[in-house]
Amino acid sequence: MSNSARKVQRIEIMDTTFRDGQQSPLWYDTQTNVPSLEEKLNLLEGILKLGVKHLEFFSPIVGTKEAEEFVEVKKYIQAQAPNVILHAHCRCNEKDIQLALDAGFTALNLYFGTSKESIKGNHNKSIADIKTISLKIITDLRKTYPSMWLRFSGEDAFRTDIETLCAVYSPLENLVDAFGTPDTVGVATPALVGERILMLRKAYPKVELECHFHNDRGFSTINALTAVQAGAKYIDCSVWGIAERSGITSTTALLLNLYEEDPAYVQGYDLSMSYPVNVILGSIFRMQIPTTEPVSLTNRTHIAGVHQNAVTKDAAVYEAHSLEKFGVGQRDLILNHLSGYNTIYYYLKEVENFQLSKEEAREISEEFKNRTREVTKTKDARELLLDIAASRNLRKTVLPQNMQKRRLENL
């Protein structure tokens, strides 16, 4: 089916914050951010409220901490959102799988390295071996668990030539629900993704496609969007895009982009939970949401005088996306040495309620710009500006309480 003929369907976020996300250097490496179970559950609450229906966790094979925590996590999810599907990330081997089944996972995300690099450095099995092993394991699984959700991925799929990948996938076509195509080392370009996903979509019309893009070249969002447009249904994402090395596709960056392309892609998600979820992770890491994350207050913060002046009149001049829908309910204008007199006038008059003329605002603004070196960690720009205003004995307008609350900007 051509892309244009395909009906736009809801895209499933395969949340891997607690699997690949925990492989991020932001968690564990410095030992400053070791997540407690309580913190994980807080974040999980946000992810569930966002409307994510597929969550990936480690197979218990990785260790007792994860195995024990999964018991609690599972209880929590089953109480909050019983229809959510719990996927175990498993190597395609019997031991990983058995432990996952014993732990009560309802879906298996199986993988087996298929690139030359993975074969040589990971498991040393030939493509013929990979085919035999995966077919045997998945056939047996299907017999015992006829309705279990099964996915098979050739790890490092984008460094695996397409003929090899198809040679491994074809025998599994009638056994799995989805094929994964992980870009394990972030080599895929949007052009290659479009070509491959279209090709796989055509070759395996009955099998859904799942994608996992690492961000080594900064392409994880555009690759995910391209994959969706070419026919992928599941995209592996995490909050902030945290994952091994420089990460994968950020959940909220993808939701925003899908929404911009066609709201039908994101039906059923509570988009207003996007920003809160990002904030929860920020509070766990005690860090600001990354500046590259589109669903952030940073993306509603204006610095340059020209921009500040324009957005106080009409925000659309420098804001094109509906971040309010994604839970970013505020806008920030940061007073700084680039702020123009318009912003300073606006701030002193509308926020601080000083009575001043434009001419006075110009003079204050000039003095402020000349003195911004005085701004330090202990004295912020607002204090400096108020000092300058105070030295001019400006009078204030007293506003009724209810009007103060309706102030437009929070500088």
- Please, which residue, 87 or 307, has the CB nearer to ligand HCA? 87
Selected range binding ligand HCA among 166-174, 176-184, 192-200, 224-232, rule: CB under 6 A = 176-184
Of the residues 59, 115, 160, 184, which one makes contact with ligand HCA according to CB under 6 A? 184
Number of residues that bind ligand HCA (CB under 6 A): 13
Residue 155 within binding range of ligand HCA, rule CB under 6 A = yes
CB neighbours (10 Å) of residue 162? 14
CA within 13 Å, CB half, 309: 9
Of the residues 180, 247, 294, 305, which one makes contact with ligand HCA according to CB under 6 A? 180
Of the residues 22, 24, 134, 153, which one makes contact with ligand HCA according to CB under 6 A? 153
Separation of alpha carbons 20 and 362, rounded Å: 53
Q: Give me the least distance between CB of 388 and ligand HCA, in Å please.
A: 54
Q: Which residues contact 155 (CB under 8 A, 6 or more apart)?
A: 111, 112, 113, 114, 115, 118, 122, 182, 184
Residue 241 within binding range of ligand HCA, rule CB under 6 A = no
Residue 66 within binding range of ligand HCA, rule CB under 6 A = no
Residues in 202-221 at the binding interface with ligand HCA, rule: CB under 6 A: 212, 214
Q: Give me the least distance between CB of 212 and ligand HCA, in Å please.
A: 4
**By the 8 A CB rule, do 44 and 86 touch?**
no
- Please, which residue, 184 or 312, has the CB nearer to ligand HCA? 184
Separation of alpha carbons 194 and 65, rounded Å: 39
3-state secondary structure 70-88: HHHHHHHHHHHCCCCEEEE
Separation of alpha carbons 79 and 399, rounded Å: 49
- Please, which residue, 84 or 188, has the CB nearer to ligand HCA? 188
Q: Give me the least distance between CB of 153 and ligand HCA, in Å please.
A: 4
SS3 411: coil
Separation of alpha carbons 156 and 165, rounded Å: 10
CB neighbours (10 Å) of residue 370? 10
Of the residues 17, 22, 24, 109, which one makes contact with ligand HCA according to CB under 6 A? 109
Token code pair at residue 156: 């490092």
Site string for ligand HCA, 22-61 (x = CB under 6 A): -x--------------------------------------
Residue 182 within binding range of ligand HCA, rule CB under 6 A = yes
Q: Which residues contact 67 (CB under 8 A, 6 or more apart)?
A: 60, 99, 103
Residue 69 within binding range of ligand HCA, rule CB under 6 A = no
Contacts with ligand HCA, residue ranges (CB under 6 A): 20, 23, 89, 109, 111, 153, 155, 180, 182, 184, 212, 214, 244
